[in-house]
């Protein structure tokens, strides 16, 4: 499968491009299905997008009553603590939106790891049963992912096993930069059931990795971002010029 590659000149146009994608997808899916399920990523790359979506120019264009937010991964820290992906999105986006609390499906990262995994699997099954008549987890309408300079995505890190058992949600421990090591993550089994996946990557330091990921042979165990191959074949890499310079 060949992903679509979108290259934006700078961070502002990058955020505007993705905000328009989300507004358009949400409007279409809410009109067709009455609901829009959006999976959010942590990290610095999506922050300008979250902040832009929170501005009235964009927020007023989405019927937030029908939007449900999920996370692709989170770190096992309290939801009020720096390092929490939920806290990041709450402050940048959720606190500025008329979204019902019950539409925000955060990972219960205050629990110990296995309990947090079981709780999120139960949440996914509840939403799927309510809205899509499928039992185990939903086919998400739009997934946002990032990529680390080591080729990880969400909290699927190099060398980790493939989710051949279709577990769906894992508890993992992985060192990356100065970020909390204990994490909860969706696996490729869930991501690849999604309708649309957008991988957001910027910055020169990831240029070599993104060129390897896109141009070279598949090595999904070593480069987890290559595990992301949605059945819908709707996979888009949204890049800035700095990270795309070797493509």
* Structure tokens that stand for 47 in this block: 């922050």
Rank residues 26 and 186 by Cβ distance to ligand 6PG and give the closer one.
186
The Cα 107–Cα 166 span in angstroms is 19
- Give me the residue whose beta carbon is nearest to ligand 6PG: 146
User: In the bound complex, what is the minimum distance in angstroms from residue 112's beta carbon to ligand 6PG?
Assistant: 19
Which of 129, 173 has the CB closer to ligand 6PG? 173
Strand partners, 40: 71
Question: Which of residues 43 and 168 has its CB atom nearest to ligand 6PG in the complex?
Answer: 43
Nearest approach, Cβ of 198 to ligand 6PG (angstroms)? Answer: 12
Backbone angles phi, psi at 226, to 5 degrees: -75, -5
The residue among 73 and 193 lying less far from ligand 6PG, judged by its C-beta, is 73
Residues whose CB falls within 8 Å of the CB of residue 136, separated by 6 or more in sequence, listed in order: 121, 124, 125, 128, 166, 168
The minimum distance between CB 83 and ligand 6PG, in angstroms, equals 9
Where along the sequence are the contacts to ligand 6PG (CB under 6 A)? 41-45, 72-73, 85, 146-148, 152-154, 179
Q: How far is the CB of 73 from ligand 6PG (least distance, A)?
A: 5
Phi-psi bin for 159: left (phi > 0), alpha (psi -120 to 50), beta? left
Question: What CA dihedral angle connects 180, 183, 187 and 190, to 10 degrees?
Answer: -110
């Amino acid at each position: 499968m060949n992903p679509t590659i979108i290259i934006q000149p700078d961070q502002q146009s990058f955020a505007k491009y993705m905000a328009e994608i989300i507004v358009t997808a949400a409007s279409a899916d809410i009109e067709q299905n009455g609901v829009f399920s959006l999976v959010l990523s942590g990290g610095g790359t999506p922050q300008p997008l979250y902040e832009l979506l929170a501005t009235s120019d964009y927020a007023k264009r989405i019927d937030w009553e029908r939007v449900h937010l999920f996370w692709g991964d989170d770190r096992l820290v309290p939801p009020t603590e720096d390092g929490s992906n939920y806290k990041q999105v709450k402050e940048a986006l959720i606190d500025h939106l008329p979204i019902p609390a019950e539409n925000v499906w955060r990972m219960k990262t205050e629990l110990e790891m296995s309990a947090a995994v079981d709780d999120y699997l139960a949440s996914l099954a509840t939403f799927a049963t309510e809205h899509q008549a499928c039992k185990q987890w939903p086919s998400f309408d739009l997934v946002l992912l990032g990529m680390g300079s080591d080729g990880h995505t969400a909290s699927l890190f190099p060398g980790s096993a493939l989710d051949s058992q279709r577990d769906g949600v894992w508890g993992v421990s992985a060192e990356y930069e100065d970020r909390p090591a204990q994490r909860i993550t969706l696996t490729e089994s869930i991501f690849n059931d999604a309708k649309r996946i957008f991988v957001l990557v910027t910055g020169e330091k990831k240029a070599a990795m993104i060129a390897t990921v896109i141009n070279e042979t598949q090595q999904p165990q070593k480069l987890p971002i290559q595990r992301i191959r949605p059945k819908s074949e709707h996979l888009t890499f949204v890049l800035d010029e700095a990270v795309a310079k070797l493509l």
